[in-house]
């Protein structure tokens, strides 16, 4: 809930990739906490499903990799909701492949969604975030922490390492403007039916069970586990945290 005097105004968040998974939970959690939320994704129906009957959530169906997307997203937030306090760069794309199978198109797609789009959207939102003394959260991954490699996820992992570097650098660059920048690095989170990356339901369930066994807390994450933390990190009370990576992974990265 909002607690500080400047929060008498309802704060506004943009959440990309909010039609499914973690983004959907984040949008709903922020709305439940009194924010107004612009949700972005390509599938209009998925965004409508995220909204349900919550009139604090406003949808914008667009592909964040389009050249005109950053301007469209920021101007929609300002025109419809009046300000931007929080930007959650959540949309992400993984196309697993070993080096031998990599294609230029697949590399470009992952870099475009996971790195280029957050760069251009954050740049576009900087002025509004400055006015609000806002917060940027980049969705990274616990899979890229430490010194391990990650077979089949070289491109995805490289984009997430890159995102963490953007977090550190922007935290320094944007601190004089009063903007905080954080990475949130989830471990494996069950996105629910459908499964990711072309895996069939049975393969996905097996994968989740295997990860749960290796995790100190003996389970995989839920989107709400991550959303709750994000909702804490964007609060005014979290004002001294910037430039760091919050890991939410049941402890698997310390094993
Ligand atoms: N789930 C995990 O285990 C896990 C672990 C670590 C990190 N993460 C990270 O957490 C974030 C959310 O993950 P998730 O599991 O919730 O993923 P997800 O369910 O696959 O959601 C990704 C969202 O991004 C949107 N998206 C993809 N490309 C887009 C584009 N070009 N333009 C606009 N929207 C686009 C998708 O919607 P449309 O297809 O409708 O556009 C989708 O709603 C990602 O950054 C992911 O890398 C996830």
pLDDT (tens digit per residue) in 66-81: 999 999 999 999 999 9
Residue nearest to atom 30 of ligand 1 (CA): 63
In a domain, 200, yes or no: no
Check pocket membership of 138 for ligand 1, CB cut-off 6 A.
Answer: no
- Ranges of residues in the chain whose predicted pLDDT is under 70: 1-8, 194-199
In a domain, 243, yes or no: yes
| Nearest residue to 247 via CA among 191, 156, 183, 189 | 183
In a domain, 13, yes or no: yes
User: For position 171, which CATH number holds?
Assistant: 3.40.50.720
In a domain, 134, yes or no: yes
Q: What is the reported pLDDT for 1?
A: 41
Residues labelled catalytic = 156
Q: What b/e readout covers 35-59, taking b as 16+ CB neighbours within 10 angstroms? A: bbbbbbbeeeebbeebbeeeebbbb
Instruction: Scan for tokens 């470009």, then name that residue.
Output: 108
Check pocket membership of 23 for ligand 1, CB cut-off 6 A.
Answer: yes
Q: What is the reported pLDDT for 9?
A: 86
Distance of alpha carbon 127 from alpha carbon 70, whole angstroms? 13
Q: Which domain holds residue 225?
A: 5-186+221-247
Pocket test for ligand 1, best of 18, 41, 136 (most atoms within 8 A of CB): 41
In a domain, 85, yes or no: yes
21 Cα nearest atom in ligand 1:
16
Distance of alpha carbon 194 from alpha carbon 107, whole angstroms? 23
Alpha helices in the chain (DSSP H): 21-32, 44-51, 69-76, 104-111, 117-132, 154-174, 201-214, 223-233
Q: What is the reported pLDDT for 137?
A: 99
Check pocket membership of 232 for ligand 1, CB cut-off 6 A.
Answer: no
In a domain, 17, yes or no: yes
In a domain, 157, yes or no: yes
Distance of alpha carbon 61 from alpha carbon 103, whole angstroms? 28
* CB-CB contact of 183 with 216 (8 Å): no
Longest dimension (CA), the chain: 56
Check pocket membership of 110 for ligand 1, CB cut-off 6 A.
Answer: no
| 3-state DSSP assignment of residue 246 | strand
Q: What is the reported pLDDT for 5?
A: 46
19 Cα nearest atom in ligand 1:
43
Number of domains the chain is built from: 1
CA 242 to chain centre: 16
In a domain, 210, yes or no: no
Residues 114-169 pLDDT 10s: 999 999 999 999 999 999 999 999 999 999 999 999 999 999 999 999 999 999 99
């Amino acid at each position: 809930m909002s607690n500080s005097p400047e929060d008498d105004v309802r704060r506004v968040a943009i959440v990309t990739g909010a039609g499914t998974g973690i983004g959907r939970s984040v949008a709903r959690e922020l709305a439940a906490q009194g924010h107004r939320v612009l949700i972005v994704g390509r599938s209009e129906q998925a965004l409508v499903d995220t909204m349900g009957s919550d009139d604090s959530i406003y949808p914008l169906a667009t592909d964040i990799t389009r050249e005109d997307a950053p301007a469209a997203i920021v101007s929609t937030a300002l025109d419809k909701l009046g300000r931007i306090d929080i930007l959650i760069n959540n949309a992400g794309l993984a196309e697993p492949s070993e080096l031998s199978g990599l294609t230029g198109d697949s590399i470009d797609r992952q870099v475009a969604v996971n790195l280029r789009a957050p760069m251009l959207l954050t740049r576009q939102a900087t002025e509004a975030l400055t006015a609000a003394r806002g917060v940027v959260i980049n969705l990274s991954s616990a899979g890229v922490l430490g010194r391990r490699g990650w077979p089949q996820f070289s491109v995805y992992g490289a984009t997430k390492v890159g995102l963490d570097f953007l977090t550190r650098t922007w935290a320094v660059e944007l601190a004089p403007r009063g903007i905080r920048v954080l990475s949130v690095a989830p471990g494996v989170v069950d996105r629910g039916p459908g499964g990711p990356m072309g895996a069939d339901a049975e393969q996905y369930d097996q994968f989740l069970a295997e990860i749960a066994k290796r995790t100190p807390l003996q389970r995989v994450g839920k989107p709400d586990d991550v959303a709750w933390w994000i909702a804490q990190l964007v609060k005014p009370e979290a004002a001294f945290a910037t430039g760091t990576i919050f890991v939410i992974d049941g402890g698997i990265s310390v094993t």
